[in-house]
Structure 1
């Protein structure tokens, strides 16, 4: 009873920000400092940002000696600024992956707070607080807070922009010039983070609303958008462009146009037309995995969907649907599928879910949907620690106690929430899910993943080299068969990525004191090439593990010339 009373009082709080910040930190800090740099995107972003810090070149984006012309520089600037700020107060941060993750964590926190503070106009104060609490533990956002890349920061800009657009839609007469300026400014920041994605979300929503709001009997081309004037498009679009244009001009000059050719022709269009980097997925994939990506809040959102559609004539619900549905359908149509792509729709979905949960006159979902939502909850709550425990057993042959702890937390969480659901206490259940999932996530993120040593091959390889040759310059280390960005982040962008065993022998012969790491597939070729060159090589040790990107075991042998 005390827990129920606490949850009821929590929804009535007049100070939601401290409670939400506390919840987010409890959810996101486990594993934040202890999980090593991951492959491949995180290490690519972090290493490129570190090279910006080292070189002082904040225009060009480079990974090692290679230009990285895929995304704008916004996230790299944020990561570099974080490193500079930490070092300014005496915290060594340049080689710490958590320093490069801080912009992701801050961006996710801003998105949660914006859902609460700006969502009040759409669903009311109590439901907006619940929606923010539902967004915080969504598994896809939890993962993004632990990865040093763009998407959590991008979500912050989109959530703020759409929250402001919602105000312009509902109360255009009260929408101020300052709010319009903020709308276009955050979209400009979003463009610097990930190109056209940020302005695309309000554009799709605006077109949808203009069609849905047209007068009855009016021809299809006569659209209705009185809120458009409130957004001050005439000077707003130039303001958005002003935020992003200087860097785009500078990078165009610095790369002689290669950035645009590769970012648009080689990255964006490849994602639309084909499954880039083997990330293809069929239409409907995001709907199929929603129970996982939005866990534990999906079990509320799924129940809310029929009632939300039935209430689509209500202006706030119409706006939220116009935000979520076109965005979702667009990413379902794009050939490249990654779980985080639909994240920009999540704040709208959480607001719809919280609105339903807090409504005493809510429409009950069909029985099959009720069953599906419950399956999504229990399946992930119990399946996540089971999968984590099996991974440890399969890769390292041991039983992980933290996985057992997580399993107990998942079972208790499922039991408690199903019990609340049977009593139709959906508002309490939404908040309880966000709290009860904390020990489950902590057991996996802090207990299991950092301790799974076999998959963290790059940091172990870097530690072995540092122990045998302290102070070895990165340019004097070469590697064959493990060209993962995490190794560049662990040892420096100047390491030599060598083609084969013969190239490794040639590298050792080039200068004294050099060390090479050669994988087991190329070791025989390396030894033959070294013998042909008359090199007396000494094996310094072996680092073995699982390259989880390629899904195969790797044994890296270290060599130097006697």
Structure 2
């Protein structure tokens, strides 16, 4: 069978789930097992979950000896359950970062399948399948499935909830109590994952739709549309609260209220009012980087937006715009900007893009939109492996074969898709983009990143400690100048994070057999303090690498007292 004929048949498949599962695995498994734990969020989440497993305390969230009162416990429970399940069948998973990434992988798969299965009522069977295939390779989702934190799992809950809300909006009389219960229950799970983000998305969509659909003269506070009653908020909201409330009560008691003060007053409000942890960005930043975060689907979605706005009076399009636009504007207004924040709007954007691609009466976008979409496609397809290759050359002064392979794949992908664009084969092109993205991503995720040894300082330092002091307990290891969470995950949450060289000398003097890792900036102070204490220290080796979070090279030397 000709490849073109194969691609033509894919939208007709009546068994979309196996195809989408295969696509997700091809896209997401490269690098999933081989990329070490990253700094900082991934290692923080994974180590906190690991400490839950080891301590048996599933209420309080701790990183080392410090309370981590930022996010609810939902993702930690999912990660801990995954580790327990793997160990129950004989797979040693506690110290493997991929085990903590599995909930993200599963969450991404659920989001893709929900886009397909629940999106049918909004755009039709074929377009929903293409929308799901467009969502899977989006770069921001691909990254999130490789990171052991909340956002891919959160996307799953939001996609299910909004898909059900779309059913209620279009066919309120056929929306059953069971579907309503599922809607509110998944929002409750979303609250356990990341607080108020999950219910905010349907709330904003509902307010937008209510404003657009309200009959003239109707009070703003009174539900006037059948879909509003079909959601059964009277008992649905208590159900949502019931799903999340027990843990919030327990954590409030366990931390004497500190969780709410720090999570709401510190973490959430801090992100709204200022750029937390130097992640500030101006309004409009998400629109500016959409070609990157939604690659390669942005190539189709950007073309679809003008036509979608023109069709906004059609009920399915109106619902999808009410899902995507207010959510997008909310995060554009928040001071803290991270690429994954707008991810909850992506399923709606993919459905709009697929609807346009499959519409035989589609309206062609303005020429400048065509140009912008083509630039986004070629810029990322060629630029991603090119940047990866340049990074390897600058950091390790070598030419990476996998980056070259990825560059060739990116050029071929761009050429093939632009050729389809000239023929206006948009449905086929959307599917081809998802498939052709596989070798581009795989070359970087499996070929380049795991082999870029200089940036994986923590696992290399942990391996050096294991080589020179087999069986050393975490409590007998102290570190100065590299307090990254990845080192805690690699060696254990009980390692001592020391302030300076003098503290390292005091740490070694307190008990025999201890080892301290001291960075090059503190080594002179450490040696002076050790001499003042009369300690005969011996150097056990040095590990040099790039701390990519801080953007500087670090040389970590290991010392013990003879």
TM-score by length of 2: 0.99
Structure 2 unaligned spans of 5+: none
Please name the residue that 2:337 is paired with: 337
Residues of 2 paired with 1:5 and 1:312: CA distance? Answer: 34
Residues of 1 paired with 2:121 and 2:194: CA distance? Answer: 28
Residues of 1 paired with 2:492 and 2:222: CA distance? Answer: 58
Residues of 2 paired with 1:221 and 1:373: CA distance? Answer: 41
8 Å CA contact 2:161, 2:184 repeated in 1: yes
Q: What are the within-5 Å matches in structure 2 for residues 124-523 of structure 1?
A: 124-215=124-215, 224-523=224-523
When structure 1 is superposed on structure 2, of 1-10 and 172-181 the one drifting more is 1-10
Distance apart, 1:2 and its partner CA: 1.2
Residues of 1 paired with 2:530 and 2:23: CA distance? Answer: 57
Structure 1 unaligned spans of 5+: none
Please name the residue that 1:43 is paired with: 43
Please name the residue that 1:111 is paired with: 111
**Per the alignment, in what secondary structure is the counterpart of residue 152 of structure 1?**
helix
Please name the residue that 2:75 is paired with: 75
8 Å CA contact 1:306, 1:365 repeated in 2: yes
1:447-467 deviations in whole A, cap 9, x for unaligned? 000000000000000000001
Please name the residue that 2:53 is paired with: 53
- The change in CA–CA distance for 1:363 and 1:223 in structure 2 (over 3 A counts) is farther
Residues of 2 paired with 1:57 and 1:321: CA distance? Answer: 43
8 Å CA contact 2:457, 2:543 repeated in 1: yes
Residues of 2 paired with 1:359 and 1:336: CA distance? Answer: 38
Distance apart, 1:3 and its partner CA: 1.4
Distance apart, 1:476 and its partner CA: 0.1
Residues of 1 paired with 2:196 and 2:225: CA distance? Answer: 22
**Per the alignment, in what secondary structure is the counterpart of residue 449 of structure 1?**
helix
- The change in CA–CA distance for 1:260 and 1:493 in structure 2 (over 3 A counts) is same
Residues of 2 paired with 1:39 and 1:171: CA distance? Answer: 46
Residues of 1 paired with 2:103 and 2:219: CA distance? Answer: 47
1:163-199 deviations in whole A, cap 9, x for unaligned? 0000000000000000000000000000000000000
**Per the alignment, in what secondary structure is the counterpart of residue 362 of structure 2?**
coil
**Per the alignment, in what secondary structure is the counterpart of residue 544 of structure 1?**
strand
- The change in CA–CA distance for 1:128 and 1:256 in structure 2 (over 3 A counts) is same
Please name the residue that 1:99 is paired with: 99
Residues of 1 paired with 2:152 and 2:77: CA distance? Answer: 15
Distance apart, 1:220 and its partner CA: 6.7
Residues of 2 paired with 1:36 and 1:412: CA distance? Answer: 30
Please name the residue that 1:547 is paired with: 547
Distance apart, 1:226 and its partner CA: 2.1
Residues of 1 paired with 2:182 and 2:332: CA distance? Answer: 30
1:18-40 deviations in whole A, cap 9, x for unaligned? 00000000000000000000000
Please name the residue that 1:65 is paired with: 65
8 Å CA contact 1:515, 1:559 repeated in 2: yes
**Per the alignment, in what secondary structure is the counterpart of residue 450 of structure 1?**
helix
**Per the alignment, in what secondary structure is the counterpart of residue 361 of structure 2?**
coil
1:397-434 deviations in whole A, cap 9, x for unaligned? 00000000000000000000000000000000000000
Distance apart, 1:222 and its partner CA: 7.1
Residues of 2 paired with 1:392 and 1:476: CA distance? Answer: 35
Residues of 1 paired with 2:535 and 2:133: CA distance? Answer: 63
Distance apart, 1:225 and its partner CA: 3.0
Distance apart, 1:214 and its partner CA: 1.6
**Per the alignment, in what secondary structure is the counterpart of residue 90 of structure 2?**
coil
8 Å CA contact 2:544, 2:553 repeated in 1: yes
1:112-159 deviations in whole A, cap 9, x for unaligned? 000000000000000000000000000000000000000000000000
1:90-133 deviations in whole A, cap 9, x for unaligned? 00000000000000000000000000000000000000000000
**Per the alignment, in what secondary structure is the counterpart of residue 450 of structure 2?**
coil
Residues of 2 paired with 1:535 and 1:165: CA distance? Answer: 68
Residues of 2 paired with 1:522 and 1:469: CA distance? Answer: 22
Residues of 2 paired with 1:261 and 1:291: CA distance? Answer: 37
**Per the alignment, in what secondary structure is the counterpart of residue 558 of structure 2?**
strand
8 Å CA contact 2:31, 2:445 repeated in 1: yes
8 Å CA contact 1:328, 1:342 repeated in 2: yes
Residues of 2 paired with 1:224 and 1:291: CA distance? Answer: 39
8 Å CA contact 1:211, 1:224 repeated in 2: no
Residues of 2 paired with 1:216 and 1:352: CA distance? Answer: 29
Distance apart, 1:228 and its partner CA: 1.2
Distance apart, 1:217 and its partner CA: 7.2
8 Å CA contact 1:104, 1:152 repeated in 2: yes
8 Å CA contact 1:11, 1:129 repeated in 2: yes
Distance apart, 1:8 and its partner CA: 1.3
Distance apart, 1:468 and its partner CA: 0.6
**Per the alignment, in what secondary structure is the counterpart of residue 451 of structure 2?**
coil
When structure 1 is superposed on structure 2, of 139-148 and 221-230 the one drifting more is 221-230
- The change in CA–CA distance for 1:60 and 1:218 in structure 2 (over 3 A counts) is closer
Residues of 2 paired with 1:5 and 1:160: CA distance? Answer: 32
Distance apart, 1:221 and its partner CA: 6.9
